[in-house]
């Protein structure tokens, strides 16, 4: 490139400029070439090359200052000075602007930027030697650092070799007349200036650190293939000269950016400043929710996604005041299948409040379905009862079987519902947790004296899991006799499995349970306790006799115990012969006394069986007539007889 340009003919004292990057050494070569007629060989030239580090290219507000450091070599001066680095002082912007800046021709400027940046840029302009030098340096100075480093140009070329020169340079100047073979801008051809051209030319002829140049430098920094995007950046600059972008202008801008900078990493700084402005942003204020709406509703923004995912960070901030708008956008996202849409819905699933979720998605079925898949915890809503049975059953399937946290949270709302299919599925998947929740809720209901928090459907299904109930500690943890009665009822009272379990769980339950049971349920429960105590009278069963004996004895005495309960109790009473068997109360007293004496139950408990002295005397009489009875009564101490 330091040789004479092929086919070029210039005056002896003239010169031309060549600029080209040297990527291998991360430097840029700026060259000035003169003819060397003093040399004996025809066509010889002198070329002075100034090597500039890429890092230094950005330091000059006006790169034309470099031109003063390139000199035509002379034999008499020697060549040693050309091997010495040139030190250029750090000069202020004011210094550059105070220099005699060449007045640029506006018409030339239009032709040159069109040849360089337009859709069908030829990269070629036709002008006399040297007439475009200042303009080309001005254009080079206008570029942002990355584009500067890649910009290649030559200010003199022969039209005969234009094609080969175009392959080497972004911009060349031909000295010959216009040649139809090449796409060379003709000064005489009419054209209408575009807005981006006006913006660029006005900046060129008014040199300095302008707003436009600041814009180019900030947002051109990470753009690939910058020369092809110069015009796009200029148009974006023009469209953003407002304090705040309206919805229409914002959407137009977003569509432009999506189309021209479609790669996610192309123009990343620009996109992030548009979405979440930094303190260095040169863009007007924008509405992040409107940007979100654009990304979701415009196909141009999806393939590939053109905007930073930082937009998702604004959802939570705007949620309190704009939740309905965000949900409307999300409903559209739920009907699509894009990576960004999935990330948007995933973010939203963590923000939406379960308490309002079902109510706000009544008319948004796709969104409801997608968000429940992402976060089944959203079912924990007071509006759960408003769901159709089939709808709720389908949503239940979204709950991970290994996530007890979700099901534990929503079970209190589910067990209120009279939905057999849901109840059956839940208890199948989470038997222990469901049974525990139902039974503990019932226990709380008895304390709070209410009965509307568990549906009969759930209770009936729980009752089929008698093994879990008997072995799960629910009887022992009961806090009221009403709950103990409920457990006995759903277990089936005299069921053999219950009898075989023995009286100890019930005795432990009675120890801490508050006795609030009244009415017919109390009678049934006490009769059951007597049955189970008489079936397996072992040490520790005494509380069952203490609470049940006297009341059931009284009910028998006055024929208040119905036939079914009486018949069931008779199965556990001794046969006293045909003369005495008619006396059910006697048989009951005998059974209880024998249970205490034969199984060596606590004599102190025997004293607590009744507060009725007459009834107590009858028990003592039976005990005295029983083998070992007198000795047993003596174990209780004098108080046994003293009380009598």
For the segment 340-394, what is each residue's pLDDT rounded down to a tens digit? Answer: 899 999 999 999 999 999 999 999 999 999 999 999 999 999 998 889 889 999 9
pLDDT classification of 100: cutoffs 50, 70, 90? very low
Q: H helices of 276-353, where?
A: 288-297, 313-334, 339-349
561-579 pLDDT, tens digit per residue, is 989 999 999 999 999 998 8
**pTM for the model:** 0.71
For residue 493, give every residue at least 6 positions away whose Cβ sits within 8 Å of its Cβ, in sequence order, or none.
Answer: 524, 528, 531, 568
Taking 90 as the threshold, does the pLDDT of residue 10 lie above it? no
Question: Percent of the chain beyond pLDDT 70?
Answer: 91
Select the more confidently predicted residue: 253 or 309: 253
Paired with 105 in beta bridges are none
User: Token match 């069931």: residue?
Assistant: 568
Tokens found for residue 527: 């009769």
Rounded to a whole number of angstroms, the CA Rg of the chain reads 49
Residue 304, preceding peptide bond in cis (omega within 30° of 0): yes
**φ, ψ for residue 616 (rounded to 5)?**
-65, -40
DSSP strand E in 164-205: where? 171-174
Among 95-109, 138-152, 276-290, whose mean pLDDT is lowest?
95-109
Identify which of 97, 168, 166 has the alpha carbon closest to the alpha carbon of residue 138. Answer: 97
pLDDT value of position 313: 85
Is the C-alpha dihedral spanning 71, 76, 79, 85 positive or negative? negative
Query: Residue range 128-134: average pLDDT?
Result: 92
Residues 6+ apart with CB under 8 A from 162: 124, 172, 174, 179, 181, 182, 184
State the Cα–Cα distance between residues 626 and 591, nearest whole angstrom: 11
Separation of alpha carbons 434 and 59, rounded Å: 72
- Grade residue 162 by pLDDT with cuts at 50, 70 and 90: low
Q: What is the pLDDT of residues 239-254, one digit of tens each?
A: 999 999 989 999 999 9
Q: How confident is the model at residue 331 (pLDDT cuts 50, 70, 90)?
A: very high
What's the pLDDT at 615?
A: 95
Q: How much is the pLDDT for 641?
A: 46
- Of 484-488, 607-611, 636-640, which gets the smallest average pLDDT? 636-640
pLDDT digits (tens, 9 = 90+) for 414-468: 999 999 999 999 999 999 999 999 999 999 999 988 877 899 999 999 999 999 9
How does the average pLDDT of the chain come out, rounded?
A: 88
* Residue 473 falls in which region: left (phi positive, over 0), alpha (psi -120 to 50) or beta: left
**How far apart are the C-alpha atoms of 335 and 56, rounded to whole Å?**
52
Rank 208-212, 340-344, 370-374, 407-411 by mean pLDDT and report only the highest: 370-374
How far is it, in rounded angstroms, from Cα 596 to Cα 619?
11
Task: Read off the pLDDT of residues 490-503 as tens digits, 9 standing for 90 and up.
Answer: 998 878 899 999 99
Please tell me the number of Cα atoms within 13 Å of 376 on its side-chain side.
20
Q: Is the Cβ–Cβ distance between 459 and 495 less than 8 Å?
A: no
pLDDT on residue 104: 87
| pLDDT of 453 | 86
314 band by pLDDT with thresholds 50, 70 and 90: confident
Whether residue 50 has pLDDT greater than 90: yes
Is pLDDT above 80 for 188?
A: no
SS3 264: coil
Q: Strands (DSSP E) along 158-222, which ranges?
A: 171-174
- pLDDT at position 338 is 86
């Amino acid at each position: 490139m330091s040789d004479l340009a092929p086919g070029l003919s210039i005056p002896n004292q003239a010169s031309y400029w060549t600029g080209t990057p040297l990527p291998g050494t991360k430097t840029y070569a700026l060259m000035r070439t003169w003819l060397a007629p003093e040399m004996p060989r025809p066509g010889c030239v002198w070329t002075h090359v100034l090597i500039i580090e890429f890092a230094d290219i950005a330091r000059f507000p006006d790169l034309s200052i470099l031109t003063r450091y390139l000199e035509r070599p002379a034999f008499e001066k020697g060549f040693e000075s050309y091997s010495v680095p040139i030190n250029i002082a750090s000069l202020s912007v004011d210094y550059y602007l105070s220099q005699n800046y060449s007045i640029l021709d506006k018409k030339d400027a239009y032709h040159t930027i069109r040849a360089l940046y337009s859709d069908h840029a030829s990269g070629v302009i036709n002008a006399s030697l040297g007439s475009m030098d200042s303009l080309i340096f001005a254009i080079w100075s206008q570029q942002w650092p990355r584009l500067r480093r890649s910009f290649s140009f030559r200010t003199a070329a022969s039209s005969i070799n234009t094609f080969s020169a175009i392959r080497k340079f972004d911009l060349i100047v031909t000295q010959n007349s216009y040649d139809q073979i090449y796409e060379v801008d003709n000064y005489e051809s009419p054209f209408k200036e575009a807005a981006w051209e006006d913006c660029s030319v006005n900046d060129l002829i008014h040199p300095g650190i302008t707003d436009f140049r600041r814009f180019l430098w900030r947002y051109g920094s990470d753009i690939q293939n910058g020369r092809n995007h110069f015009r796009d950046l200029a148009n974006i600059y023009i469209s953003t000269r407002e304090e705040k972008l309206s919805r229409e202008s914002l959407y137009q801008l977003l569509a432009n950016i999506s189309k021209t900078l479609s790669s996610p990493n192309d123009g990343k700084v620009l996109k992030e400043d548009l979405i979440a402005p930094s303190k260095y942003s040169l863009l007007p204020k924008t509405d992040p929710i409107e940007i979100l709406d654009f990304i979701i509703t415009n196909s141009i923004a999806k393939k590939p996604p053109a905007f930073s995912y930082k937009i998702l960070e604004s959802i939570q901030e705007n949620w309190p005041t704009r939740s309905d708008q965000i949900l409307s956008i999300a409903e559209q996202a739920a009907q699509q299948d894009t990576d960004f849409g999935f990330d948007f819905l995933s973010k939203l699933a963590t923000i939406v409040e379960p308490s309002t979720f079902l109510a706000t998605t009544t008319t948004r079925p796709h969104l409801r379905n997608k968000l429940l898949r992402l976060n089944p915890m959203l079912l924990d809503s007071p509006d759960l009862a408003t769901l159709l049975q089939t709808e709720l059953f389908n949503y239940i399937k979204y709950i991970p079987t290994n996530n007890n946290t979700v099901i534990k949270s929503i079970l209190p709302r589910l067990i209120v519902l009279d939905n057999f299919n849901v109840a059956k599925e839940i208890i199948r998947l989470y038997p222990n947790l469901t049974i525990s929740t139902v039974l503990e809720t019932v226990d709380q209901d008895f304390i709070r004296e209410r009965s509307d928090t568990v549906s009969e459907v759930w209770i009936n299904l729980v009752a089929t899991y008698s093994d879990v109930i008997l072995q799960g500690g629910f009887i022992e943890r009961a806090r009221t006799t009403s709950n103990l009665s409920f457990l006995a009822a759903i277990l089936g009272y005299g069921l053999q499995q219950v009898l075989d379990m023995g009286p100890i769980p019930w005795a432990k339950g009675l120890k801490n349970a508050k006795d609030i049971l009244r009415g017919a349920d109390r009678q049934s429960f006490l009769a059951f306790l007597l049955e189970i105590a008489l079936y397996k009278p072992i040490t520790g069963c005494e509380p069952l006799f203490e609470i049940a004996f006297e009341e059931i004895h009284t009910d028998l005495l006055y024929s208040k115990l119905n036939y079914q309960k009486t018949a069931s109790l008779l199965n556990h009473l001794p046969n006293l012969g045909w003369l005495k068997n008619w006396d059910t109360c006697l048989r009951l007293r005998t059974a209880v006394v024998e249970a205490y004496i034969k199984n060596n139950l606590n004599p102190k408990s025997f004293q607590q069986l009744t507060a009725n002295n007459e009834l107590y005397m009858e028990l003592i009489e039976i005990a005295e007539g029983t083998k070992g009875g007198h000795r047993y009564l003596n174990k209780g101490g004098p108080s046994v007889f003293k009380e009598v």
